[in-house]
Amino acid sequence: MTVRTRFAPSPTGRLHLGHAMAAKVAHDLAREHTGEFLLRHEDIDATRVREAFYAGIEEDLRWLGFDWDGPAMRQSTRLTAYEMALERLQALGLVYPCFCSRREIEDEVAAMAVAPQGPEGPLYPGTCRALDLTQGLRKLENGQMPAWRLDARKALTLTGRLTFTDLRHGRVEVTPGLLGDVVLARKDIGTAYHLAVVVDDAFQAITHVTRGEDLLPATHVHRLLQEVLDLPQPVYLHHPLVHDAQGKRLAKRHDALAIAAMRESGMTSAAVLALLPDVRMA
Domain CATH number, residue 63: 3.40.50.620
Check residue 201 and give its pLDDT.
Answer: 98
Assess if residue 218 is contained within a domain: no
Assess if residue 223 is contained within a domain: no
Q: 71 and 166 share a domain?
A: no
**Predicted confidence band at 145 (pLDDT cuts at 50, 70, 90)?**
confident
pLDDT tens digits, one per residue of 223-239: 999 999 999 999 999 99
Decide if pLDDT at 249 tops 80: no
Q: 267 and 190 share a domain?
A: no
Question: With the CA atoms of 106, 180, 212 and 209 taken in that order, what torsion angle do they form, in degrees rounded to the nearest 10?
Answer: -140
Check residue 10 and give its pLDDT.
Answer: 96
Q: 53 and 90 share a domain?
A: no
Check residue 255 and give its pLDDT.
Answer: 59
Domain interval for residue 72: 1-76+242-282
Write down the mean pLDDT value for the chain. Answer: 91
Check residue 144 and give its pLDDT.
Answer: 74
Check residue 176 and give its pLDDT.
Answer: 84
Identify the CA nearest to 15 among candidates 68, 55, 43, 48.
55
Q: 95 and 189 share a domain?
A: yes
Assess if residue 237 is contained within a domain: no
Phi-psi region of 61 (alpha: psi -120 to 50; beta: other; left: phi over 0): alpha
CATH code at position 111 = 3.90.800.10
Q: 155 and 258 share a domain?
A: no
Query: In a 10 Å sphere around its CB, with 0-12 CB exposed, 13-18 middle and 19+ buried, how is residue 264 labelled?
Result: exposed
Q: 85 and 195 share a domain?
A: yes
Q: How many CB atoms lie within 10 A of CB 11?
A: 23
Q: 112 and 69 share a domain?
A: no
Q: 43 and 133 share a domain?
A: no
Overall pTM surpassing 0.95 (yes/no): no
Check residue 252 and give its pLDDT.
Answer: 52
The region of weakest confidence among 20-29, 57-66, 185-194, 245-254 is 245-254
> Rounded to whole angstroms, what are the CA distances from 55 to 11, 15, 18, 199, 265?
9, 11, 18, 25, 20
Q: How many CB atoms lie within 10 A of CB 249?
A: 12
Taking the C-alpha atoms of residue 26 and residue 175, their distance in angstroms, rounded to an integer, is: 26
Check residue 105 and give its pLDDT.
Answer: 84
Cβ-contact 204, 73 below 8 angstroms:
yes
The strand pairing partners of 95, in sequence order, are 150
pLDDT tens digits, one per residue of 95-121: 999 998 888 888 888 888 677 788 878
Count of structural domains within the chain: 2
Q: Within a 13 Å sphere around the CA of 247, how many CA atoms are in the beta-carbon half?
A: 0
Check residue 134 and give its pLDDT.
Answer: 65
pLDDT tens digits, one per residue of 70-94: 999 999 999 999 999 999 999 999 9
Q: 68 and 29 share a domain?
A: yes
b (16+ CB within 10 A) / e for 137-166? eebeeeeeebbbbbbbebbbeeeeebebeb
Taking the C-alpha atoms of residue 173 and residue 136, their distance in angstroms, rounded to an integer, is: 35
Decide if pLDDT at 253 tops 60: no
Assess if residue 206 is contained within a domain: no
**Predicted confidence band at 250 (pLDDT cuts at 50, 70, 90)?**
low
**Predicted confidence band at 244 (pLDDT cuts at 50, 70, 90)?**
low
Taking the C-alpha atoms of residue 282 and residue 261, their distance in angstroms, rounded to an integer, is: 35
Last residue of a domain, one of 199, 234, 269: 199
pLDDT tens digits, one per residue of 166-199: 999 999 999 988 999 999 999 989 999 999 999 9
Write down the H helix ranges in 112-266.
133-141, 152-159, 193-203, 216-228, 259-264
Assess if residue 235 is contained within a domain: no
Last residue of a domain, one of 133, 168, 199: 199
Check residue 130 and give its pLDDT.
Answer: 83
Indicate the SS3 state at residue 57.
Answer: helix
Q: 195 and 82 share a domain?
A: yes
